[in-house]
Chains A and B, each alone.
Chain A
Amino acid sequence: MGLLEINKSLKIPSGVKKIVLAGNPNVGKSVFFNALTNRYVDVSNFPGTTVDISHGSLGKDILIDTPGIYGVSSFNDEEKVARDVIIQADIVINIVDALHLERDLFLTQQIIDMGLPMVVSLNMMDEAIKNGVKIDIEILEEELGVPIIPSVAIEGKGIEEIRDALQRARPGKKVPYIDALLKPVSPFFSNVGEALLYLEDDPLIEAPFLLSAKAGSQEEIYMQRRIRVNEIMEMAIRETTVGASLSARLGQLMLQPFPGIPLLFISLLAMYYFIGVFIAQIVVDFTEGVVMENYYCPFMENIVGRVFSPDSLLGYILAGEYGVLTLTVVYLVGLLLPLVAGFYFSLSIMEDSGYLPRIATLTDRLMVKLGLNGRAIIPIILGLGCVTMAAITTRLLGSKRERIIATALLGIAIPCSAQLGVIFGMVAPLGISYLFLYLAVIIGVFMLLGLIMARVLPGRSTDLLIDLPPLRLPQLKNVLKKTYHRTGHFIKEASPLFALGALLISLLNISGSLHTIQNFLRPLITGWMRLPPEAATAFIMGIVRRDFGAAGLYSLNMNTGQTLVSLVAITLFVPCIASVLVIFKERGIKDGLLIWVGSFLTAFLVGGWLALFMV
């Protein structure tokens, strides 16, 4: 794992100064970024991560944004990317939350210890004043040794001042203890930053010849830095009246099982109305039903038809039943794009308001039983939107074991929103008791699978340790920006897989393999699950698109028991081909295959068992 060269990957000409924005999560970095750069902003993805980096020009220089981090190290992808960018910076603009200096100054002092010229923007000064926190800026400036500019970025205050202060950017005062450690080793490295990361045992830095392979001084350095930060805090913060503000009290209430859990259900219900009703029904009816079916598909079929006959192999692959240019685009743009954007919009609101870490805390106990921790609630919620998107986000989990458990749960027991729509449409007419029975079986399977995997899989899951930021009203502009980037990222990453999936299905169909699978499934479906033989076709369609599978059951003549059995089985049945491909890509062939076969077995085992008393 080497350092990613920023000049190369962001195509920055050498000689241009790289100014880097750094700070803890949710301190308003993006507000500064938007205000300081001109309109032309580039977004680059870092290979192998879901982390995007924006950069734009700031006068003659380049301003680079970084993900929010608590320190320069390599505990996760965000930190690794931020580390690579910061270490190559010419100047760092460090944004800190004036209300949370205790937390934020650790990163500030660490960047100072790296020897980088910097300026600090003391953001959210209004909140600090409102909360009775008095900060002596002169003392802070004196102790850190770098220019400090107070700001209220969302009101545009203190942003122009940062631009002017850049000329005064300078390396600050290192922690004396750390400085003493740095002196003898610095000559072995190309800069102080690398020497510091070597001393902090960062895996990025390979020990140079003559130095021991591992410095082993990370803990001592962290302790000394923390002691120094606490010292600075005591000198610079004059008076604090810790009064519980309304947002602090609300934040605390959200964590108590009551009213926290009812509040969570209300939030999820609101999300359901926004995504499940507004987007899935009104928006998708327009994008898929009107734009795609009425305009796009006939147009595309016409164009392809001019070159290849619809009966020819290529004509079929491009614009046939599972056409790469028809079905894939309809599915991806008409259906998934609005749903995924809706989910990311909701997630960004929960994240920026500070609610998400509280949901993770509230659900931690349950998640621990399933071999996960509270943070896994993020891919699980996203899975209800699109399993393909959620399978990619399992990267944020702390260990391989957790990533496997979460991916398997997503692949087997989480129905995506496309499928849920059709399923609810079929269950609702059967009455409320069937709806509850359906939910009970699926949730039961979800829990059971998690419990079993937590027992059986080797290794240890990581524990929850998260910052609970103060509750804040999210900024719409920021939420929209995040939604846009994340959705774009999903489309970019998933499109080739959806196209490949459609291609595979077309080839299976042409070669007759699809028919063979159908014949193989038939006895299981009729004999074991006691469903009509035509249901086999629905299951085959479920391999392509999960909602097609469920929709295929719609037209069958089944009694209530059969309907329930078939819906449970199709929910647990294999995820759509694009999800399967993502799972293979993320988890590897062996684990991917296990999950795929597992979903097959779970669907038929549970379906058959349910049929014993329902049909």
Chain B
Amino acid sequence: MTLAQAIKGEKLIIRSIDDSEMRMKAIRFGVMEGAEVICAEKLPRGPVIIRRGRQELAVGHGLAQNITVERVAKI
């Protein structure tokens, strides 16, 4: 599944980020392939907010569609 399909409150593992510049920027924020994140908020057809520890990131819908994730658990 992609990050765009995530539901608020889900715990996810990032599998791939399909955009090399964004991948570099995401690594700087601690989000890389293999990282565990929480979908903290989801705006309807808008950005997904992911949280890792205390770091929160807003990911635009288009980019979220290019990020493959794996669902770990619901909180």
Contacts and interface: CB of A to CB of B under 8 A. Distances in A.
A219 B24 contact: yes
A102 B25 CA distance: 14
Interface in B2-55: 19-30, 32, 40-41, 43-47, 49, 52-55
Given A257-B43, A464-B47, A219 B20 contact: yes
A70 B27 contact: no
Q: Looking at chain A, what size class is its interface with the partner chain?
A: 35 or more
Given A222-B27, A252-B40, A360 B58 contact: yes
A91 to B, nearest CB: 23
A93 B44 CA distance: 42
A173 interface: no
A71 B28 contact: yes
Contacts of A242: 53-54
A73 B25 CA distance: 10
B62 A467 contact: no
B32 to A, nearest CB: 6
Contact of A374 (B24, B56, B60): B60
Interface residues of B, number: 34
Contact of B59 (A102, A106, A240, A464): A464
A103 B25 contact: no
A371 to B, nearest CB: 11
- Does more than half of chain B's interface fall in helix, strand or loop, or is it mixed? mixed
Interface of B: 19-30, 32, 40-41, 43-47, 49, 52-63, 66
Given A222-B27, A361-B43, A365-B43, A465 B20 contact: no
A364 B27 contact: no
9 contacts: A102-B53, A103-B28, A219-B20, A219-B24, A240-B53, A255-B58, A361-B43, A368-B60, A467-B29
Interface string A221-245: 0110010011000000000101000
A75 interface: yes
Contacts of B58: 255, 357, 360-361, 364, 374, 464-466, 468
A90 interface: no
Nearest to A469: B56
A373 interface: yes
Interface string A55-74: 00000000000000011010
B55 A103 contact: yes
A75 B19 CA distance: 14
B55 A465 contact: no
A100 interface: yes
A467 B23 CA distance: 14
Given A70-B29, A219-B24, A364 B61 contact: yes
B38 to A, nearest CB: 10
Nearest to A375: B60
Rank and list the top 4 A-B pairs by shortest CB-CB distance, nearest first: A464-B60, A463-B63, A365-B46, A463-B60
B21 A464 contact: no
Contacts of B59: 463-465
A413 B62 CA distance: 26
Nearest to A253: B41
Nearest to B64: A463
A467 B55 contact: yes
A470 to B, nearest CB: 8
A41 B56 CA distance: 35
B56 A468 contact: yes
A222 B53 CA distance: 19
Nearest to B45: A365
A362 B46 CA distance: 8
Contacts of A365: 43-47, 61
Interface string A422-463: 000000000000000000000000000000000000000001
Given A226-B32, A467-B55, A252 B41 contact: yes
